[in-house]
Structure 1
């Protein structure tokens, strides 16, 4: 079919004969377009399924996909349009829709401009739009019109009197409109306060679900205003959980907040409540298992993860968590001398290996188990690039068989000397990640980091990106390697005066103790705080503010 014929057929200006091979495809395409116009997405998708790939109407699905994304998801809409080729019968229509997305219809031909105008509707001022809607309040769509009028009051408060003549407008709804208006004006402090009044109004009226939704919104606003670690975020999420305990996401968001702040006691208590309410929810089981593993409750973590896997046997995160729990239990058995039980757990862990890093960890414990049994060291091909595999093996030997560690340390030092000849940012970050894991498992950090000195020395002068350098400083600070933190912070990126590097430098200079802060460094942190806030680095700003608050607490005794 010719392009013009396809378009005329879609518009209903040209019918196809009953025996035309594409007639049923045309009817499906017309049904999909009609469903789109009526706002019935389910019917639209059902109709589109009846259009085969080789049909001349196949691109209707891409056109409607683009129109459905408008105006909230412009980029998604553009991706749909890109699938309509220049030779498609719908290419002229796609051109018009693309102009709608760009907000520029001047270059369109008259017919295309008419189509774009039909999609966008008439250009009305707010008073004209309000009056036009008001004229429809007695029509068949009265409830929808009422909601549209009320939503319009956010931008057109002058319409309140006319609205009240026809519909009730309770005080709590007026407060809600005021809160929305403040948010629209980006006056987030006022919006946060007004939303608080709205939430109280809903709760007093017995509308707990609405009050919970407001609390969740205030939690997001608090994170934007005060930083994601602010106490106001916790308070709002706790309120949301209390008001709507069946809203799973509130529990998970609060759990993530406790996890970020390192509050295992509060996290454990919250997750017990979440498990009671959502015992078979995979996301809750995963969060609870991860938290249990972090506090060393390996068997409990394994039970939770095993239950998770009965619900979703292919869940990758659950499989990794079960591997970690089983391996941690094996480590405990080796440490306590129960070597037969350790071998059994290692056999179980082998069933869940899915990554090179997991295989390296399993291999390391197999070596340690052999050393503890007095057997010859088994040799495995390293699944990780040097020096990562050697680093982890040495860490496990230092931790679980320290009397056998000397040759492993010697070998590790030689490996690091070679690795330092061609070090990359990801390479170094990977070593520091393993160092943190090893230390948290009980390995002594000094001999490991001493062996890594050649790599650390070369790393200072690499061409770092800002986020990579922050990651290195973060890990070195966690390992209490204060001089290395300062060396990296004051490296090539120091001249850019980045607030994060100033923060790391000062904290390392004080060796993590806010009480040791000097007045010059206090001024540096104050300036870094302002710069972090101005650039939207809320989490960094919260960390700087907390360190400064620690200094104030130390002064007040």
Structure 2
């Protein structure tokens, strides 16, 4: 009995009853029959369950009918035994109440004649009419009629639970929380509990509701959808989809969309079909034909090609496919000067032109080195510019082009779109912000300050603008210092002080003010700088702050440290070390550069620092900061120090490798390269996906064979019929003449050549500058000469030493 094996319990109790026909044996057998009956009913074996209840009743005619037996009789439509029990005065009041509730639900489900079989004085009969009136009024949407009818149903009526449900549903739209509270008052054993459960489903969020609907029976599902406010058309559509199963086959969905295209809308249904086909070509074309749909048009085929390109995630392919579609759309939609304006078609064309960048974020500033623009990004910018011809009211595209052109160093282009945006949205805060940033990028600090004040006039609590205004005044002051116009620099510092609120801004103002004083009057300025150094702690943090400030005005850091009494190296404690490194990080965050020799000076200042006291996370953060600053020597030393504490830690192996090989490792047998390859799996095993991806990217940039086939392959192996050598491979690998090589490089283009060579980003940046200064043809001729006279391993060009350049 305890483990629910009622069938065995029945057999055991029967044997016990034969041996000892006591009341305890009969009671145990009755309980076992009841358990088995419920078990069979749960499996849907209703008639077999009823036999168990009848066997239980045969044990003792005086045994009260179980409420579950009453519910089973109701499900089977056997109402006479229930009516007999209801009329029997010996029936316990609680059981009579349960029977009335079951009969009440039966009456309201449409069996109106049942009420006439009940005594006229019974509340089940007397309250049936107002309960039915309330139901009719609710279905008609007559809330006043519902309330009036429910007012005639007393609290202790058999229709009480029904009354509570309707009252709760009346508050569903205005106060769902109150609806839930009222529904909670209806017990699970109520005959109206299924209705309550449907109402509770209607209160769920849409995604949860859709998921739960899958497990409901048809009637309860339709009821829940109706209570949720779904029209009959939507319920029918849901049933159609539900019949396809939890994961419908794409072919079945294509057929369903074709069947329901009039209800869903011809254009929308066709678009959904194309979306499905994008994943299932070419067999999807057969599905369309078998469903009776029209053939794929030229525009649709180009749209499918664009969507399929998105699945491949190749940015060039994606951009080109959407660009092809835009050209064809322009022709098909008749968008030229000879046709009248078509606003909807123009907007469609603009969206197509923007799609690739919207999807892939191709103009992401975070992933683009400052002052650079790839060939693909130039292509994207052209498409976005073209989109503004058809949709000039799109502020987002204006702002995106302004920001990217400014980041790429093309301030003239940024100003062109800024002027266009300023004419359309002269008081827009975002436009004013971009105008301020563009002015700062152009070193027009006075103009930037004026724009910042305009923004603060309408948005006085904008802390970002306030900080940029202070930075504009500071930048202008530094500019005046470098011109020896100390009077004008003081004026800018006073203006910065009026707007400065944070401690960091005040510190920058004080440092620059002290340096100006030292330049004008060394003895007095030294006292000022000594006082500032004292406030900053006179330790490593103070040394770094002063050194960074000096580097921005072209002064000698050694002299400034001497004036401040900070020329001697100090042994910082842990807090001072972290504070100093935090200042360096903030300096980088602000986009500021470094003075000449900053890395060597910082190495001296950090000599003897308590690195062993830092945690692993803190050391990782320090290495990342040094990477951003391009202080490779110091970063490598720190990474190797960390590896002594955390042997083979992937993140520190990566930092040590990048610092040691800033231009890539050209030795395929390098132990460092092998360690880094093994670190990928270590990072994956530890769940550090970000580090494993970074290592993989570093290895790709450091591959030893960036151009042509691997030297380990047999050059005479012709069995691979699928191998088609690239034009560059033929030119460089088959004794092509310099003229043939030059023609191959011209066809390839600068950007694809740099990508094919596998150069790291900073090397690409330097080579682009060289190509711009001397012209692409002259650049390619020089590269051909280097390649044909190479000293690198395996006949490949050896990397050139990186020039140390600091802004």
TM score, norm. by length of structure 2? 0.48
Deviation at 1:159, TM superposition (A): 4.4
| 1:419 partnered with 2:632 | no
| 1:547 partnered with 2:690 | no
Shift in alpha-carbon separation, 1:446–1:181, aligned structure 2, 3 A: closer
Deviation at 1:365, TM superposition (A): 2.4
2:383 to 217, 239, 245: 239
Residues 127-526 of structure 1 mapped to structure 2, 5 A cutoff = 127-138=251-262, 141-154=265-278, 156-161=284-289, 170-184=297-311, 194-205=321-332, 206=335, 209-219=347-357, 228-229=367-368, 230-245=374-389, 246=392, 247-258=394-405, 263-264=408-409, 266=410, 268-279=411-422, 280=426, 281-310=428-457, 312-372=459-519, 374=521, 375=524, 377=528, 379=531, 382=535, 387-388=540-541, 391-393=544-546, 395-396=548-549, 399=553, 405-408=560-563, 410-411=565-566, 417-420=571-574, 423-424=577-578, 428-434=581-587, 440=593, 442=595, 445=598, 448-450=601-603, 452-454=605-607, 458=611, 462-464=615-617, 468=621, 471-477=624-630, 481-490=631-640, 491-492=642-643, 495-497=648-650, 500-501=654-655, 504-508=658-662, 518-520=666-668
Deviation at 1:129, TM superposition (A): 3.8
The question of whether the paired residues in 1 share the 8 Å contact of 2:418 and 2:434 is answered with no
Residues 524-535 of structure 1 mapped to structure 2, 5 A cutoff = 535=693
The question of whether the paired residues in 2 share the 8 Å contact of 1:179 and 1:191 is answered with yes
Shift in alpha-carbon separation, 1:138–1:208, aligned structure 2, 3 A: closer
1:56 to 148, 171, 178: 178
Deviation at 1:463, TM superposition (A): 0.8
Who is 1:64 aligned against?
none
Shift in alpha-carbon separation, 1:140–1:503, aligned structure 2, 3 A: closer
Give me the whole-angstrom Cα distance separating, in 1, the residues matched to 2:591 and 2:537. 16
Show CA shifts across 1:16-35 (max 9, x none).
Answer: 35999xx99976743xxxxx
Give me the whole-angstrom Cα distance separating, in 1, the residues matched to 2:217 and 2:538. 57
Deviation at 1:394, TM superposition (A): 5.0
Residues 43-82 of structure 1 mapped to structure 2, 5 A cutoff = 51=174, 56-57=178-179
Which stretch has the larger CA shift, 199-208 or 231-240?
199-208
Q: How many aligned residue pairs are there?
A: 486
The question of whether the paired residues in 2 share the 8 Å contact of 1:305 and 1:321 is answered with yes
1:16 to 114, 135, 147: 147
Give me the whole-angstrom Cα distance separating, in 2, the residues matched to 1:289 and 1:539. 36
Deviation at 1:323, TM superposition (A): 1.0
Secondary structure at the counterpart of residue 546 of structure 1:
coil
Deviation at 1:450, TM superposition (A): 4.8
Task: Return 5+ residue gaps in structure 1 as ranges.
Answer: 1-7, 31-50, 61-87
Which stretch has the larger CA shift, 364-373 or 273-282?
364-373
Deviation at 1:170, TM superposition (A): 3.5
Task: Return 5+ residue gaps in structure 2 as ranges.
Answer: 1-134, 152-165, 183-196, 226-233, 336-344, 369-373, 681-689, 703-757, 768-779, 790-807
Which stretch has the larger CA shift, 320-329 or 127-136?
127-136
Which stretch has the larger CA shift, 452-461 or 355-364?
452-461
Deviation at 1:502, TM superposition (A): 6.0
Give me the whole-angstrom Cα distance separating, in 2, the residues matched to 1:368 and 1:404. 11
Higher relative contact order (Cα pairs below 8 Å, separated by 6+ residues)? 1
Shift in alpha-carbon separation, 1:520–1:154, aligned structure 2, 3 A: closer
Give me the whole-angstrom Cα distance separating, in 2, the residues matched to 1:502 and 1:406. 31
Give me the whole-angstrom Cα distance separating, in 2, the residues matched to 1:397 and 1:181. 55
Secondary structure at the counterpart of residue 501 of structure 2:
coil
Residues 117-136 of structure 1 mapped to structure 2, 5 A cutoff = 122-123=241-242, 124=244, 125=248, 126-136=250-260
Show CA shifts across 1:6-47 (max 9, x none).
Answer: xx9999798335999xx99976743xxxxxxxxxxxxxxxxx
Give me the whole-angstrom Cα distance separating, in 1, the residues matched to 2:148 and 2:285. 55
The structure having more radius of gyration, on CA atoms, is 2
Deviation at 1:525, TM superposition (A): 7.5
The question of whether the paired residues in 2 share the 8 Å contact of 1:330 and 1:341 is answered with yes
Give me the whole-angstrom Cα distance separating, in 1, the residues matched to 2:167 and 2:485. 73
Show CA shifts across 1:429-448 (max 9, x none).
Answer: 53354389797375762685
Deviation at 1:476, TM superposition (A): 4.1
